A and B are shown apart, each in its own frame.
Chain A
Amino acid sequence: MLSFITRRLLLGILTIFGVILITFILVRVVPSDPAAQWVGGRATPQQVAVAREELGLDKPIYVQFEHYIKDLLKGNLGYSLMTHQPVVEELKKRFPATLELVFISCIIALLIGIPLGLISAKDKNSWIDHFSRFFSIGAISIPTFWLALVLQLIFFMFLGLLPSGGQLSMKIKLFQTVPNITGFILVDSLITGNFAILKDFLKHLILPAICVGAYTIGLVARMTRSALLEILSEDYIKAARSYGLPERLILYSYALKNSLGPTITAVTLAMGYALMNTFLVESVFSWPGIGKYIADAVVCLDYPAIMGVTIFAACAYILLNLIADIIISLDPRVKL
């Protein structure tokens, strides 16, 4: 187990290094002037030259790369060209919002996906099976950003039930001091018992969570269904049936539990996909997380920010994959 983990971590580090190298080279190839962007729209040539020197852009590429790696090891991801703030700080501030979103959406996905897959496998080839299969394929096919717009249209524009974006409404944000204990609004408002904020937050959370979780719902439903189908055709289930055990007991106590393994791993992987979906959803809903950050950075080509988020997201994804594999390996039937 340990050697497996070490091997995977080393591979992960190698991957990150390769990506940094490639993106670093690409940045220098594209026509752009980070120094000019740093000083802002209307600088003098001397100021740009000074900035170039300060940012170390006049040195040869390998020296720059060396500096970048050194900084990286110290935990310094550089300074955002847009905001002049350290990228690490920016990520730290925005990460809780994204984490909350991804986490809640995965919970929703599990709450909807698993029962859906269960029903589907139980009554195979019934109309409900066809419906849920169609629904889950639809969920993984739907363009997340379009779903976001459609939901906004229906629930905000036409029905006026839910807000169009943000984490909290303007009134709450400006009139109340939002508690900041853990950095997670959901947790903080529960701890301090501020139900107004909690209610407001949930209202703002639900649409983005659905959008981010749509793909995961489909994935979980399909995985649950196929895992259950495979298990239900196993011999020991037939044996249990022949003993006269009630169907419900067989389903929940034996089949479902055994199918949760692959499903949970799928969810861990899907969390990685959900992270990607936040890039698309957060800007539509003005959710102040990492997704919006990179969407903005990409528009004005803020390279340090883009590279910072890429490295961060890649690390998260590798970690999630590793956790997924470890969970699979807990199943004694699987060989590492």
Chain B
Amino acid sequence: MSKKSNYYNILIKQKLEILKEYLYLLEQNKLTFAALIIILFLILIAIIAPIIVPFPSHIYGAVNPQDKLLSPSWTYLFGTDEMGRDLFSRVLYGTRISLLGSLIAVAMGLLIGVPLGLMAGFYGGFIDEFIMRIVDMFLSFPPLLLAMAIAAFLGPSLKNAIIALIISWWPWYTRLIRGQVVSIKEREFVRAAHAIGTPSWQIMFKHILPNCISPVIVQASMDLGGIILTLAALSFLGLGAQAPIPEWGLIVNTSRTYFIKAWWYGIFPGMAIFIAVLCFNLLGDGLREVLDPKTKKY
């Protein structure tokens, strides 16, 4: 065995150990663990949705007007909507849209927010002031309002709603990271790296970042839920996904017109939103207990 492959073996073993440790801690908190399982289940559904739905054609286009507004039955588990489409299929497929949309928004938010926060904290001075003033500007707004305004002016569509959410969310990560960076920056190992001439970007990404990433991970996992919620809220107001996209919030909005005749219509997509957001929040909560050194149980 070469030295290099030996090195990698040990590295992998180390990482596995850490992973095992985290999973053990997670398991202690049963609620969080259950949430994790449900989330994995949802991800699974999102991935295989087009295959497992009973009525794939009902997701977008085809209409079946003879069967409109039927109550839940064995054929149509959640009933049908006003165009005769199976609500069960649409809600299942909606998982894909919500999860994917939320993932994109959080990922892009991180991609923009984290480097900016690193730079602000690391370089300090004018760059710090400039970036943080902009961040403060954004943070002075309640997130839903900012997203609403941007989505309204860009034009109502799913794409624009996600863009609006990215714009509303990145400042949170920047502020979070910057706070951490400022305190880590003065530590010994950073000074040492600096002294031996490591380039700045390497210091930022390889040394500082791994040490302050945990609150961001916690925040990001809770945000996955929060963004699903906000996206659904935007669609509910008419600013997000438009017909015939089967987005959860949009389905709930459409259900309002048929409230009297088909009261079950809006229950299921709303329930889906609730479960998804709840699980992400529980996960984030549990992760916080695991990752936050202050509240470690041992």
Contact = CB atoms under 8 A, between A and B. Distances in A.
B115 interface: no
B281 interface: yes
B136 A11 contact: yes
Interface residues of A, number: 50
A294 B273 CA distance: 24
A30 interface: yes
Interface stretch (B48-56, B73-81, B229-237): B229-237
Nearest to B248: A143
Interface in A299-334: 299, 301, 303, 306-307, 310, 313-314, 317-318, 321
B42 to A, nearest CB: 14
Contact of B274 (A19, A141, A276): A141
A37 to B, nearest CB: 14
Nearest to A16: B140
Interface stretch (A40-48, A115-123, A146-154): A146-154
A180 interface: no
Given A143-B277, A149-B270, A301-B152, A137 B285 contact: yes
Contact of A30 (B145, B146, B155, B267): B155
A9 to B, nearest CB: 11
B289 to A, nearest CB: 11
B239 interface: yes
A12 B145 contact: no
B141, B256, B259, B277 — most chain A CB neighbours (10 Å):
B141
Given A146-B266, A275-B142, 18 more contacts: A14-B137, A19-B141, A26-B153, A30-B155, A130-B31, A141-B277, A143-B229, A150-B267, A152-B259, A157-B260, A279-B237, A295-B237, A301-B152, A310-B145, A310-B148, A310-B149, A314-B141, A317-B145
Interface of A: 11-12, 14-15, 18-19, 23, 26-27, 29-31, 130, 133-134, 137-138, 140-146, 149-150, 152-153, 157, 272-273, 275-276, 279-280, 284, 294-295, 298-299, 301, 303, 306-307, 310, 313-314, 317-318, 321
Q: Which 10 A-B pairs have the closest CB atoms?
A: A146-B270, A26-B153, A141-B278, A141-B277, A276-B144, A15-B137, A15-B140, A143-B273, A310-B149, A141-B281
Interface of B: 31, 133, 136-137, 140-146, 148-150, 152-155, 225, 229, 232-233, 236-239, 249, 252-253, 255-256, 259-260, 263, 266-267, 270-271, 273-274, 277-278, 280-282, 285
